[in-house]
């Protein structure tokens, strides 16, 4: 090592985006969803851990509870959890008050408003919500509160000073605790950089693959003293990154990066779907593409829905310097737990964010991206979500993510409007988590356990998946978005075994598709395919 040695981030270094030590995702950043999740999930979880940490730690040892509400922090560090709880109560006091006001006022309004004019109830809006809400009825005289989310972002409920990036080197993919349940405490091997997500220095740091820097410059960027070099150096690498690979061949190239992340390139376009990208942990890793395999420029990064395995703030920040435009589903703007992804993306530093509604299209050279409806996956709650048809020349490729075929007619309609869709990427997580998993914090009371079990975040099973393919007259089916790759563990904790329903349905789906003459494959880790585009 000399003073001229240039460094980039080590391929095994992850940069977790945090809000007050918790991993940032769509339930922790936006003001309304974030306040409710903070009060009704995170604080309750910490209190429960402090009451009986052993129960939490025992549960964390059982793979079945990997994605459950259990804090994975050793008992010796209990005091740090107590300190985090106390700090949160002060630092996020305004958000906690907002959560109380939202719950109390919504409950009051439901009791009081039975169809009479809502005008007088504006006088009853609690102080923290005044000027931030509209009161309305549906046609059955059920009252609702609509939040002006953009105004709330500017009113002290969104605190950039609580944001940070935590760098740590992963010995293996399983080394991260489940993101929703375990806050990230300081560690001697990790470096936490207190920086707002929208800070341009974040882009400077993540450009290191293409533009490595001397140690001193990186240290200065992170605001570290020279004494921190012993911690910083293991997180960096002197090895140059693979040369960025921009496809300029005649055909359409699709590269699968794992889970729901796929890169489509043709006619000079580069479109990345649902980026969640695993770092490379070295020995024993599953072969896969990582950040260094992305092209230097992404024309569009496209998001299907707000679940943390599809809208990953960690990956989005890391690739922000490569893209001008993020494409997100149009917000429904009705439920407190359904934040606008457009506002959220802007707040985390994306300059250009486009919302696409069903059948709206973004024109590209020799192609387009068309948004289509996305049924299912949200436990019958109204959430912002889109599937997308990427048209590359004459090829149409559907990225359906966790779509379910709740109504085959929808797909008949899509075919009638857009034509047959030759290539389909579809998930088959047909078991799913119960309603309360990501939305429990938004309900006024814990959902009835009997209902909770029946309403699930689930996608298509084999029979419903086949109906989609038949309706669309598909020729090629790729089963993806299964959470199979080990770098999804800390996000989904699915703990599959060979006889898991999702995997047996996937096998049935692939076999039935093949019987019908389709090419069919379950994707895992890494895949590359080429399609002939035509014009
Ligand atoms: Fe999902
Ligand atoms: Fe998913």
- pLDDT for position 467: 97
What pTM does this model have? 0.97
Nearest ligand (C-alpha, residue 385):
1
Per-residue model confidence (pLDDT) at position 350:
97
CA–centroid distance, 25 to ligand 2, in Å, is 14
State how far the Cα of 287 lies from the Cα of 193, in Å rounded to an integer: 30
C-alpha 305 to ligand 2 mean position (Å): 9
Helix (H) or strand (E) holding 192: strand 191-194
Distance 160 CA to ligand 2 centre (A): 28
| 402 Cα–ligand 1 center, Å | 6
| Cα 486 to middle of ligand 2, angstroms | 15
In order along its 535 residues, the chain shows pLDDT tens digits of 667 899 999 999 999 999 999 999 999 999 999 999 999 999 999 999 999 999 999 999 988 888 899 999 999 999 999 999 999 999 999 999 999 999 999 999 999 999 999 999 999 999 999 999 999 999 999 999 999 999 999 999 999 999 999 999 998 888 899 999 999 999 999 999 999 999 999 999 999 989 999 999 999 999 999 899 999 999 999 998 888 788 988 899 999 999 999 999 999 999 999 999 999 998 888 999 999 999 999 999 999 999 999 999 999 999 999 997 999 999 988 899 999 999 999 999 999 999 999 999 999 999 999 999 999 988 889 999 999 999 999 999 999 999 999 999 999 999 999 999 999 999 999 998 888 888 999 998 888 888 888 999 999 999 999 999 999 999 999 999 999 999 999 999 877 888 999 999 999 999 999 999 999 999 999 999 999 876 5
Q: What is the pLDDT of residue 64?
A: 85
Question: For the chain, how long is the longest CA-to-CA vector?
Answer: 76
Could you read off the pLDDT of 123-135 as tens digits, one per residue?
A: 999 999 999 999 9
Distance from the CA of 506 to the center of ligand 1, in angstroms?
17
For position 535, what pLDDT does the model report? Answer: 57
User: Could you tell me the distance, in angstroms and rounded to a whole number, from the CA of residue 410 to the centre of ligand 2?
Assistant: 21
**Which stretch of DSSP H or E encloses residue 98?**
helix 93-112
Q: Which ligand is nearest to the CA of 481?
A: 2
pLDDT score of 371: 98
Alpha carbon of 156 to ligand 2 centroid (Å)? 32
- In angstroms, the CA 388 to CA 399 distance is 5
* Ligand 1 centroid to residue 305 C-alpha, Å: 7
Ligand 1 center to residue 276 CA distance, Å?
Answer: 13
Ligand minimally distant from the alpha carbon of residue 276 = 2
Give the Å distance between the CA of 197 and the centre of ligand 2. Answer: 24
* Closest residue by Cα to residue 38 from 186, 197, 162: 162
Distance from residue 378's CA to the centre of ligand 1 (Å): 7
Residue 495, pLDDT score? 79
User: Looking at beta carbons, which pairs linking 283-290 to residues 24 or more positions away fall under 8 Å?
Assistant: 284/172, 285/172, 285/173, 286/485, 286/486, 286/524, 286/525, 286/526, 287/525, 287/526, 288/257, 288/258, 288/485, 288/487, 288/525, 288/526, 289/255, 289/256, 289/257, 289/258, 289/263, 289/526, 290/11, 290/257
Nearest to 328 by CA among 247, 264, 385: 385
pLDDT of residue 239: 92
Q: Which ligand is nearest to the CA of 378?
A: 1
Under CATH, what is the fold of the domain 252-531?
Metallo-beta-lactamase; Chain A (3.60.15)
**Can you point out the beta strands (E) in 209-366?**
213-214, 236-237, 252-258, 261-266, 269-273, 300-302, 325-329, 352-356, 361-364
pLDDT at 66: 85
The ranges assigned to domains in the chain are: 6-92+159-237, 93-153, 252-531
- Which ligand is nearest to the Cα of residue 437, counting in written order? 1
Helix (H, G, I), strand (E, B) or coil at 479: strand
Where do the DSSP E strands lie in 281-351?
300-302, 325-329
Report the first-to-last Cα separation within the chain, whole angstroms: 52
Number of the ligand closest to the Cα of 491: 2
Cα-only R_g, the chain: 23
Please tell me the predicted confidence (pLDDT) of residue 2: 67
Residues with a beta carbon under 5 angstroms from ion ligand 1: 307, 402
Q: How far is the CA of 12 from the centre of ligand 2 (A)?
A: 24
């Amino acid at each position: 090592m000399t003073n001229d040695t240039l460094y980039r981030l080590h391929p095994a270094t992850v940069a977790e985006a945090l809000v007050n030590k918790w991993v940032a995702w769509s339930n922790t950043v936006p003001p309304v969803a974030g306040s409710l999740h903070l009060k009704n999930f995170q604080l309750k979880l910490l209190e429960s851990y402090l009451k009986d940490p052993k129960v939490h730690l025992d549960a964390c040892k059982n793979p079945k509870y990997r994605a459950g509400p259990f804090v994975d922090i050793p008992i010796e560090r209990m005091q740090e959890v107590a300190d985090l709880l106390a700090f949160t109560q002060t630092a996020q006091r305004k958000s906690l008050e907002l959560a109380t006001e939202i719950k109390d006022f919504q409950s009051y309004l439901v009791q009081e408003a039975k169809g009479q004019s809502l005008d007088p109830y504006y006088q009853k809006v609690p102080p923290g919500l005044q000027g931030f809400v509209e009161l309305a009825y549906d046609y059955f005289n059920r009252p609702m509160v609509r939040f002006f989310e953009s105004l709330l972002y500017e009113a002290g409920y969104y605190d950039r000073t609580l944001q940070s990036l935590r760098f740590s080197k992963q010995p293996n993919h399983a080394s991260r605790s489940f993101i929703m349940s375990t806050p990230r405490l300081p560690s001697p091997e990790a470096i936490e950089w207190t920086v707002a997500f929208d800070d341009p220095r974040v882009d400077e740091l993540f450009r290191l693959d293409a533009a490595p820097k001397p140690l001193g410059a990186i240290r200065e960027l992170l605001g570290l003293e020279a004494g921190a070099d012993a911690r910083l150096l293991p997180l960096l690498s002197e090895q140059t990154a693979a040369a960025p690979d921009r496809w300029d061949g005649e055909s359409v190239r699709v590269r699968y990066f794992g889970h729901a992340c796929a890169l489509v390139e043709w006619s000079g376009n580069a479109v990345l779907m649902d980026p969640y990208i695993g770092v490379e942990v070295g020995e024993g890793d599953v072969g896969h593409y990582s950040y260094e395999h992305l092209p230097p420029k992404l024309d569009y990064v496209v998001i299907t829905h707000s679940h943390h395995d599809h809208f990953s703030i960690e990956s989005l920040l890391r690739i922000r310097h490569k893209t001008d435009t993020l494409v997100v589903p149009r917000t429904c703007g009705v439920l407190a737990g359904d934040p606008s992804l457009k506002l959220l993306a802007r707040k985390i530093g994306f300059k250009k964010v486009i919302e696409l509604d069903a059948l709206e299209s973004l024109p590209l050279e020799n192609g387009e991206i068309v948004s289509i409806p996305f049924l299912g996956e949200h436990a019958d709650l109204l959430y912002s979500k889109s599937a997308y048809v990427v048209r590359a020349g004459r090829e149409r490729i559907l990225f359906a993510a966790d779509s379910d075929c709740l109504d085959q007619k929808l797909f008949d309609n899509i075919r009638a409007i857009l034509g047959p869709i030759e290539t389909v990427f579809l998930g088959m997580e047909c078991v799913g988590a119960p309603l309360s998993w990501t939305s429990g914090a938004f309900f006024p009371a814990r959902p009835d356990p009997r209902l909770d079990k029946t309403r699930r975040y689930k996608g298509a099973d084999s029979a419903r998946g086949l109906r989609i393919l038949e309706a669309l007259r598909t020729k090629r089916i790729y089963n993806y978005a299964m959470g199979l790759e080990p770098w999804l563990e800390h996000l989904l904790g699915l703990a599959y075994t060979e006889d898991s329903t999702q995997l047996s349905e996937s096998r049935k789906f692939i076999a039935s598709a093949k019987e019908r003459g389709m090419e069919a494959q379950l994707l895992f880790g890494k895949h590359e395919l080429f399609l002939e585009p035509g014009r």
